[in-house]
A and B are shown apart, each in its own frame.
Chain A
């Protein structure tokens, strides 16, 4: 006989094992779709792997894709640590993109433009995230729904800009004017798209880890999330911590948008984010809300996205497999998390 038992603590190796189990389960489940599409499972995954991580150019492409998801993943991970349910990383990313594009189009020395783009983009994301946090703190409004609904508000605001005052009068396309050439983030490896923003993203993860694990604010964020009553009792201003978390989380999501404008697209269009904000939730959950875990999780999702296109060309399996993998990975991870709360124990027949 087996029985589910509540766990009091979880061993440390779970943090690594659970995401790996979830990813393995995801790839096995999704192999059914590859088979339905009439391709060889091993071949399809093989092409996916070699096209995303097989050579140095592929790796740079994967990293370029990973950068926005590292930022949104960090944004979600930090917010969820404080139990500030920020589902709004998508809107915060778009706000960051719009704001940085606005600044980047102003002629000024390149390094100054890049710095200002980052600052203004982060501030825009932070301001958007501050809305659901303030509503929760002041009016007890549910942050899940308010942050989600704000995504649509920001999206339509962006559309109003690119179909209105920003619209390209020459081509008539709904895209913003490009940023100044001098504001384009420098490419670090000749012949690739690996830009400065990617490195910033890679550095941001350990910085966020340090902030969460080693600073007073990080401690407050963790306590607020784990036990708000204890936090209050311990003299922590929980409301202020929630607002600070929202600012931090929104700023990180805003930086995801800055990177896409400064390093990849150099302008804003309606599909500048293929849902990177929502992918951030997948990344954060796979990372078990640990900022260091965000790096491999984001790189995994990015590799799936980059690899899926090559796989589609080689085997005919629709590239949308990457979207299915993303959703399945999130659900699989949630189920795997049950093992942190429960354990399966063999129990003998009663004597």
Chain B
């Protein structure tokens, strides 16, 4: 009997980690692409919120979840384009623009949500994505039910990680992204359009942030609330640094954070926790700040991060 209980406990716990990690993985990969091209996107928190809201609304009105995902991705890409317009095309300061994009997108998300759904005591919910077990793989003990009986979006995240690594390290476009993030002047001399490449990377990043938002309102919570993102964008900012701007490490960092988060939820639920759960939630931020102090000596951040590129300035 206790063996069975233990089994369920572990499977449920593993499954929870995967579910918590999925939106973080999307968001972290999105922020990573943007930063590798030299553009810090602090708009992430607001972009995730607006995408989450737009995707939820589209799914709720049309009854089609995948249409919701598409809308969320498009809205994310659009807000990425907006951030790129300000920071890449106009060369405005990235951190202030990012805060502007977050304030603007969050405000718009709250406004439109209230306009469309009005004030309701119980937030409207949708019939969200259902787990889709993969034949054969889902029969593997423990790993099967935990990893291979998940939402399609989870599988998409699992595929997105090696795909992002491949795109970044093995394709000409990925090389361009790394070049414009490290040495835009040299990239420009080599005939790479710094402006175009940065635009593409920030837009792709925004689309991935949109996927993260879509997962929150259409798979994880099946409803939109004003606190649905609640700092996950800031977590992604930390995870990118902690993952040293690398897709594999960043995704690993997301998994690690998800483990800590799942652990704290479990401790809270069991009532065993003598340690306040907030201590766990603080960890990724504290770890990242400490890690930054150690990393700065090796200078692993993209060299041109935060620096606008103007061709005429030499």
Contacts and interface: CB of A to CB of B under 8 A. Distances in A.
Interface of A: 33, 36-37, 85, 87, 131, 135, 138-142, 144-146, 148-153, 155-157, 159-160, 163-164, 275, 278, 281-282, 285, 318, 320-328, 330-331, 334-335, 337-338
B97 A150 contact: no
24 contacts: A139-B293, A144-B40, A144-B42, A145-B241, A145-B288, A148-B42, A149-B238, A149-B289, A153-B282, A159-B278, A160-B276, A160-B278, A163-B278, A278-B99, A318-B110, A318-B115, A322-B107, A323-B107, A324-B108, A326-B103, A327-B103, A327-B106, A335-B90, A338-B92
Contacts of A160: 276, 278-279
B22 interface: no
Given A152-B282, A324-B104, A36 B292 contact: no
Interface in B231-269: 231, 234-235, 237-238, 241
A148 B296 contact: no
A331 B101 contact: yes
A314 B231 CA distance: 33
SS of B interface (majority): helix
Interface residues of B, number: 47
A220 B296 CA distance: 27
Q: What 7 pairs between A and B have smallest CB-CB spacing?
A: A327-B104, A323-B107, A327-B103, A324-B107, A320-B110, A318-B114, A160-B278
Given A139-B296, A318-B111, A87 B282 contact: no
B99 A87 contact: yes
A49 to B, nearest CB: 19
B225 to A, nearest CB: 14
A309 B16 CA distance: 40
Contact of A146 (B235, B282, B289): B289
Contacts of A164: 276
A325 B42 CA distance: 19
Given A135-B293, A160-B276, A318-B115, A334 B103 contact: no
B66 interface: no
A340 B115 CA distance: 38
B8 interface: no
B86 A335 contact: yes
B101 A327 contact: yes
Given A135-B289, A318-B111, A331-B86, A87 B104 contact: no
Contact of B237 (A141, A145, A326): A145
A149 B282 CA distance: 10
Given A142-B301, A318-B110, A328 B276 contact: no
Interface string B263-286: 000000000000010110110011
Interface in B90-136: 90, 92-93, 95-97, 99-108, 110-111, 114-115
Contact of A334 (B86, B102, B107): B86
Scoring B97, B111, B241, B293 by chain A CB atoms within 10 A of each residue's CB, the highest score goes to B111
B306 interface: yes
Contacts of B104: 324, 327-328, 330-331
Scoring B110, B289, B296 by chain A CB atoms within 10 A of each residue's CB, the highest score goes to B289
A149 to B, nearest CB: 5
Given A163-B278, A338-B90, A281 B99 contact: yes
Contact of B234 (A36, A142, A151, A275): A151
A217 B231 CA distance: 36
Interface string B282-314: 100110110011101100010001100000000
Contacts of B294: 139
A142 B101 CA distance: 20
A275 B279 CA distance: 22
Contacts of A328: 104, 107
B105 A327 contact: yes
Given A156-B282, A160-B279, A327-B105, A146 B110 contact: no
Scoring B99, B102, B105, B286 by chain A CB atoms within 10 A of each residue's CB, the highest score goes to B99
Nearest to B231: A152
Contacts of B95: 85, 87, 144
A149 B279 contact: no
A198 B238 CA distance: 36
Contacts of A146: 289, 292
Scoring B285, B293, B306 by chain A CB atoms within 10 A of each residue's CB, the highest score goes to B285
Given A160-B279, A337-B92, A145 B100 contact: no
Nearest to B107: A323
A137 B1 CA distance: 58
A331 B231 contact: no
Contacts of B241: 145
Given A146-B292, A156-B282, A324-B111, A330 B234 contact: no
B107 A327 contact: yes
A33 B111 contact: yes
B237 A149 contact: yes
B311 to A, nearest CB: 13
Contacts of B100: 282, 327, 330-331, 334
Nearest to A279: B103
A141 B99 contact: no
Nearest to B92: A334
B296 A140 contact: yes
A163 B281 CA distance: 14
B220 to A, nearest CB: 20
Given A141-B293, A330-B104, 8 more contacts: A145-B237, A160-B279, A323-B111, A324-B107, A324-B108, A327-B105, A331-B97, A331-B100
A345 to B, nearest CB: 16
